[in-house]
Each structure stands twice: as structure tokens, then as C-alpha cells.
Chain A
Amino acid sequence: MLEIFNQIFTSANVLFMLKGLRMTVIIALCATILSTIFGTLLALIRTYATGKWKWVAAIVAVYTEFFRCTPNLLWILWIYFTIKGDKIFVSVFAITLFTSAVMSEIFRGGLNSIPKGQFEGAQSQGFNFAQTLWYIVLPQMYKKVIPALLSQVITIIKDTSFLKMVDVAEFMRNSSVVMGSIYDVRGMLMLFAFEALCYFVICFTISCVVRGYQKTLVTA
């Protein structure tokens, strides 16, 4: 047993896999930041574009619905095979494209929960529309959606494992490379357990933060 363990978890292998883990975290972080920005824009357009700008809101609605109803893996593969460029850049782009649709739905829920009186109050104090959004509406909205947002971050981290299919050197793919040299069931189980543990530690930490935050909201 110990022999198999030593055979798999050599320092070279572990280092190789941890490099993959770093790539996973970097990709997830970039995708989170970009899709938060893009998702906020989409949500703002869909909620506040009225009158003669209504058609923009309609386009955004179609975009969100279409992306929410198709798998992320499909977009990763489609974009990977048709856009030539840096692999990592392309995969961040694909995940962002998909996730911002989901994020915009989360933000829209947050925006809808902000009472209309806030706008009227801001206007009476001489704020213009952009100032109202920036200083009054968005801060409240972000505070409300933090739990849902962090849950989505967990999903993003888990979704980066799809990138194994397009051979980006992230955690799942690097571990599979190591897996290729193992023919023993016990060894495979050990490696799977190690992979699961790494993902678990990251994701579980985030979900504990979510739960702690929700508790403070309830008691406050």
C-alpha cells in the first residue's frame, strides 16, 4: 500500500498537479471577475432599458435565456475549435460568456428587490441616474447577492474541470496525465481521493463563508 502511495505521490508528480491547481484557481478567478462585470452590465440593461432602448433589453434577454439553456461544455468546445488563440485566454472567454448569463440573472434578482423609493429619494437629492446606480443601488445589490454569487464561484471552479477536454493544463488534466501511468485500482482510488480532496478543500471553504455570511444576515 505504502509502496503504491510512494510511487504515485513523488515530488515531481505532486508539483506537476499543484501547478495544475494553480492554473485552475487563476482561470476561475479571471472568469469570476470578468463575468461579474459583464453580468452586472447585462442585468442593468435588462432591468432599466425602457422606452426606445427596449430592443437592447430584448437582445439581452435572448442572450441570457439561450446561454442558460445550453451546457457550458458545449460553449467551451465550440469556442475552442473555432477561435484560434491562446488556449487559456480562449477558455476564460468561453467560461465568462456562459457564466455572465447566469450571473446576470442573479444580479437581476438583486436589483428587483431594491425598493423604488431609493431612486426617488436619490433623485430628490440631486443624484443623476448613473450616480444613483453607482452610489446607492449597486452597493446594496451586491451585498444582497453575495451568497448566490459565491455559490456561482463554486460552480465556476467545478466547471474548470471541463477544460480537460480541450487540454488546458489545469488540475483535472494534469492529474489525468499522472493517472495514465497507474494500472492498479488502489492507486487510482488514491489519486481520485487526492483530486477530490483538493477540490473539496477549496469549494467547502467558500461554502462555509456563504453559510457564515447568511447567518450574520439573519442575526443582524
Chain B
Amino acid sequence: MIKGLLDIKRWNALLDAFPEYYVPGFLMTLKISIVGLLTALCLGIVFGLLSTAKFKPFQIISRIYVEFIQNTPLALQVMCYYSVLPMLFSSSGFRIPKFILGVIGVGVYHGAYISEVIRTGIEAIPKGQSEAASSQGFSYIQTMRYIILPQTVKIIMPPLANQALNLVKNTSILAMVAGMDLMYFTDSWGADRGYFAQAYFTSAVLYFIICFPLARLARYLEIRSMRLPVAKKLDLAEEEGVC
């Protein structure tokens, strides 16, 4: 697995190939991750709100989307988009740009997970709050905007950061359809030269660079959300303590 990892000659070969293979791959992965995350957030918020709506059909639509996407592999979904979508538009050798394919793939997949996160976040807020809001004349949108969502944010931040982490990792699946991302370039350079240990080690480090801050963020948010709100100390109490 790590045979010849310390071979200088191989590392030099990797350094030569770095601008040509790893830099575009890394940038592609980064771009897909960012745009994919935004897409997933939009889908997640829309379907998360739908699943808490009072109108039953909305709930059912959201439920079907979430269950279907969560219980089938992302690889299958991406393969499906890759081979079926072009044929729906035209039959003459049209190919979807890999960037779009990646964004749709991870966006739709993680949109389902984020929708669940948002749903549980909204359901964690006691129902009395929206009843109280509507008794004060707030509309549905106002209730969400001013009362429910601001409280939800604190609950959903840690799982959202985790989803972002998984999303970055899942962009690697694009390598299965020659997606021009980091994993694809790693694979093709490694197979070209046969220096697998160098190729994959470098790639692992690059993924780690993107994902580790996200993992720390998730941990930090988790610890912060578990901490109970502490009341500010009054001066009075301190004086009493001194006495």
C-alpha cells in the first residue's frame, strides 16, 4: 500500500505532474463542492419547509423525494443522470458538462439529507410558538422568518457542517463518470505511471485539507450547541460573594 512512498524519483515525477493534474482537479472539486452545497441548501430548505407544511400533498411530495434519494446510492444516481439526461435533450452525442453533472448529483443527494436536518430543526421548536405567533397576527412567512427559523439555525448548524463534509467527500464519485475532479485525475495519473502510493497519498492530503476544517467546525458547533445558555452575572451577586 505504501511501497516506494519515500522514493525521491517518484515524488519528482509527481511534482512535475502536479500543475497539470492535481491543480485543475482540486479546483474542480472545490467548485463542485461550493456550488453543490448551495444547490443542496436551496433544495433542502424548500423540501424541509414543505415537509412541515400543513397541506398534506406537500408533505407527501417531500417524503417521497427524501426517502427515494436517501435510500439509493449516489453512484447510481450519477450514472443515471450521466447516461439518461443527454438522451432526453438530444440524441446526437450531446454530453452534459461534468461540472453541471456534479452539481446536480451531489446537490440533489445532499438536498434530501439537508431537508431532513431542517425538518427536525423546525419540529424541535415547540408548536405553541407558531400558535402564539399566528394569534399575534403573524403570517406563515413572517412566523418562519422572524420566529421559527432563527431558533432553528442553532440546532441545525452542527449536522449541516457534517453534511458539507460528506458532500465534499462524495464529489469523488464523479470519477466513476470521468468527472475531471480530483479523484479522476489522481486515478488517471496513478494508472499512467504506476506510482499509486504517491498519487493516492497526495490526493488524500488534498481532500484532508478541504475536509478537516469542516470536521473541526462541526465539532465546535456541536459543543457550542450543547452548552446551555448562561445568564449574565449581576454585579449584586459578585458583591455578595465578596462579603
Q: Do B68 and A200 touch across chains, with their CB atoms under 8 A apart?
A: yes
Q: Do A204 and B67 touch across chains, with their CB atoms under 8 A apart?
A: yes
Known: A66-B208, A78-B200, A188-B84. A73 touches B175 (CB 8 A): yes
Question: How far does the Cβ of A87 sit from chain B's closest Cβ, in whole Å?
Answer: 16
Q: Do B76 and A74 touch across chains, with their CB atoms under 8 A apart?
A: no
Asked if A42 CB lies within 8 Å of chain B CBs, one says no
Residues of A with C-beta under 8 A to B75: 158, 161-162, 164, 172
Q: Do A70 and B175 touch across chains, with their CB atoms under 8 A apart?
A: no
Asked if A203 CB lies within 8 Å of chain B CBs, one says yes
Known: A68-B215, A79-B1. A161 touches B73 (CB 8 A): yes
Residues of A with C-beta under 8 A to B74: 158
Residues of B with C-beta under 8 A to A157: 73
Asked if B151 CB lies within 8 Å of chain A CBs, one says no
Chain A 163-218 interface residues, beta-carbon cutoff 8 Å to B: 164-165, 172, 176, 179, 185, 188-189, 192, 195-196, 199-200, 203-204, 207
Q: Is the interface of B mostly helix, strand, loop or mixed?
A: helix
Residue of A nearest to B196 (CB): A81
Q: Do B76 and A154 touch across chains, with their CB atoms under 8 A apart?
A: no
Q: Do A74 and B71 touch across chains, with their CB atoms under 8 A apart?
A: no
Q: Do B211 and A74 touch across chains, with their CB atoms under 8 A apart?
A: no
CA distance A73 to B73 in the complex (A): 13
Asked if A51 CB lies within 8 Å of chain B CBs, one says no
Q: Do A165 and B176 touch across chains, with their CB atoms under 8 A apart?
A: yes
CA distance A189 to B76 in the complex (A): 12
Asked if A124 CB lies within 8 Å of chain B CBs, one says no
CA distance A188 to B80 in the complex (A): 8
Q: Do A195 and B76 touch across chains, with their CB atoms under 8 A apart?
A: yes
Q: Do B208 and A82 touch across chains, with their CB atoms under 8 A apart?
A: no
Known: A65-B215, A158-B73, A185-B87. A73 touches B207 (CB 8 A): no
Q: Do A82 and B207 touch across chains, with their CB atoms under 8 A apart?
A: no
Residues of A with C-beta under 8 A to B68: 196, 200
Question: How far does the Cβ of A147 sit from chain B's closest Cβ, in whole Å?
Answer: 13
Question: How far does the Cβ of A4 sit from chain B's closest Cβ, in whole Å?
Answer: 14
Known: A68-B215, A188-B84. A78 touches B1 (CB 8 A): yes
CA distance A189 to B79 in the complex (A): 11
Question: How far does the Cβ of B33 sit from chain A's closest Cβ, in whole Å?
Answer: 12
Asked if B173 CB lies within 8 Å of chain A CBs, one says yes
Task: From B10-18, B95-103, B183-191, give the one contacting chain A.
Answer: B183-191
The 10 closest A-B pairs by CB, nearest first: A69-B211, A203-B71, A78-B200, A71-B172, A158-B73, A161-B73, A161-B75, A71-B169, A81-B196, A185-B87
Known: A71-B170, A73-B173. 12 other contacts (CB 8 A): A66-B208, A70-B169, A74-B200, A78-B1, A78-B196, A81-B190, A82-B1, A157-B73, A159-B73, A196-B80, A199-B72, A200-B67
